[in-house]
Structure 1
Amino acid sequence: MKLLGLIGGTSWYSTIEYYKLINELAGEHIGHDQNPSLLIYSQNIQLMREQDKEKINQTYLEISRKLESAGAKGILICANTPHMVYDFVQPQIGIPILHIAEAIGRKAKKMGLQKLGLLGNRPTMTGDFIPSYLKRNFDIETLIPDTEFIDRSHYFVSKELTLGIFTDEAKSFYQKQMELLAGKGAEGMIMGCTELPLLIKEEDSEYPLISTTQLHAQMAVDFILGAY
């Protein structure tokens, strides 16, 4: 099995969910009496909250190089938003970063979806790191909520979900956003925050949900086992 490096801490709830899923999914292939070897670097979530892009880029580059030096054959970032560093970091290291949008695109193609709504925090929804990857590699269009709702979504993610707070108010808000995005033509919804699938389950939505965490974790296992 290939040694995979995980970059976590954004948030630690997200990191736990990734670690749990990777071990569970790997166990389906190697037996649940075993688990894959993983390198985990968990950093302080405050880095992302400061929103200093240059500092974020340099920190992720430093961490990625440490994981590579420690023997990792690939890197998985255990959250959606930090993939903003991909274009900066990937050319400067010798091992692949498993991009979360690759997992999204593959799933959407299998489902026959060409337009996807994107829900998450402000940087994820307004940034280009998921939409551009999906458009470039899968010809998939990405839609986001109206500007008036973006700050509210960011509040729920940063002040509640990443702190392990899951409320009916937040669930109702995102269900309404999915309805509005479907009205714009979205055929499915990207749950672009690791904690969103913990808030909203398949049975809570009338629209196809693309759980980035589950798909990304499966991508990690495929890499570890040499199937990716």
Structure 2
Amino acid sequence: MSNDTSLTLGVLGGMGPAATVEFLARLQAYTPAEKDQDHIRVIADINPRAPDHNAPGSQAGGVLAEMAGALQGAGAQVLAMPCNTAHAHADLIQRASGLPLVDMIGLAAEAAARTGAARAGVLGAKGALKLYREYLAARAMGLVALPPEAQEQFMVTLYRIKSGDLGHDVKREMQVHAETLRAAGAEVLIAGCTEVPLVLDDRDVKLELIDPGDLLARRCVGVCLGWEPLPHAPA
């Protein structure tokens, strides 16, 4: 096979770097290839200098817009961003680059709806929770979030993962957060931060766990190879 006509994917990464590397690995794994030339061309900006979008008053949007414009200038034809919270800047990113962005939040919300669940528990930062609440509501689903104190502890656990701690204690903490959501009425779980699947998978929880980054990688392969339609470009 030959992918000479495949689209070039631009990746806005670095939020965080480990999650971006995992996304790129899955992108490569899901691409059917018999030789190097069969793979998708990927231009990735792994930029850990982008402001922390979990911090109050973050100015991440402007940096992400610049990254998107640079990716377009380098030859990208469609964009992906393996970070849930940063999708709050999706419109700005698309306007700045003139390129369509594969919507990870939409993919995860649609996957949750397909399970038939009425309520989805989301393990994510506050910004991601806001996005998922809107996307799930559009599909007549409710969102189950951690109680405030547990949410604060979740963020502590999340930053331990960002620091490189993928040990048993961190996994156990994330399992406790997942069980808290299940006990509160969640019928399906969404890993609403791309670091969550670095320590947690379906075998670790009692509900189906939707991994938005995995869905994003699969969709990007389909879009770039022409198997699935290109997302709508910004007007």
**Equivalent residue number for residue 4 of structure 1:** 9
SS at match of 1:95: coil
Pair 45,224 (structure 1): closer, same or farther in 2 beyond 3 Å: same
Structure 2 letter corresponding to 1:82: A
- Distance, in Å, in 2 between the alignment partners of 1:116 and 1:50 is 22
- Partner in structure 1 of residue 26 of structure 2: 21
Q: TM-score, normalised by structure 2?
A: 0.85
Report the structure, 1 or 2, having the larger helix content: 1
Q: Which residue of 1 aligns with 2:206?
A: 206
- Counterparts of 1:223 and 1:179, CA distance in 2: 35
Cα 1:111–1:50, aligned 2, differ >3 Å: closer, same or farther? Answer: closer
**TM-score, normalization by structure 1:** 0.88
Contact kept, 8 Å, 1:101 with 1:134, in 2: the verdict is: no
Inter-partner Cα distance in structure 2 for 1:32 and 1:215: 24
Report SS of the residue matched to 1:48. Answer: coil
2:132 aligned residue (107, 130, 138): 130
Unaligned residue ranges in structure 1 (runs of 5+): none
Q: Give 1:192 deviation, angstroms.
A: 1.4
The aligned counterpart of 2:79 is: 75
Indicate the residue corresponding to 2:183 in structure 1: 183
SS at match of 1:65: helix
8 Å Cα contact 1:10-1:79 kept in structure 2: yes
Secondary structure, aligned partner of 2:98: coil
In the alignment, the residues of structure 1 paired with residue 28 and residue 120 of structure 2 have an alpha-carbon distance, to the nearest angstrom, of 29
Segments of 5+ residues of structure 2 without an aligned counterpart are 1-5, 230-235
2:133 maps to amino acid:
P
Match of 1:102 in 2: 106
Please list the CA deviations of residues 161-193 of structure 1 after superposition, one character each: whole Å capped at 9, or x if unmatched.
Answer: 112212333222222222222232211111112
2:152 maps to 151
Residues 41/95 of structure 1: CA separation in 2 closer, same or farther (3 Å cut): same
Report the CA distance between 1:133 and its aligned residue. 2.4
Shift of 1:93: 3.8
Post-superposition offset of 1:194? 1.7
Amino acid at match of 2:59: K
Match of 1:140 in 2: 141
Q: Deviations over 1:121-146 (max 9, x none)?
A: 34433xx222212323x233221100
The alpha-carbon deviation at position 50 of structure 1 amounts to: 7.5
Q: 1:205 to 1:54 in 2, by over 3 A?
A: closer
Q: Kindly provide the CA deviation profile for residues 181-208 of structure 1, in whole angstroms up to 9, marking residues without a partner as x.
A: 2232211111112221221121111111
1:9 to partner: Cα distance = 0.8
CA contact (8 A) 2:52 2:58 kept: no
CA-CA distance at 1:107 after TM superposition: 1.5
* Aligned CA-pair RMSD: 2.1
Write the letter of the residue equivalent to 1:132: E
Shift of 1:8: 0.7
Structure 1 partner of 2:232: none
| Distance in 2, Cα, partners of 1:168 & 1:18 | 22
Helix, strand or coil: the match of 1:117?
strand
Pair 1:114-2:126 in alignment = no
8 A contact 2:123–2:192 mirrored in 1: yes
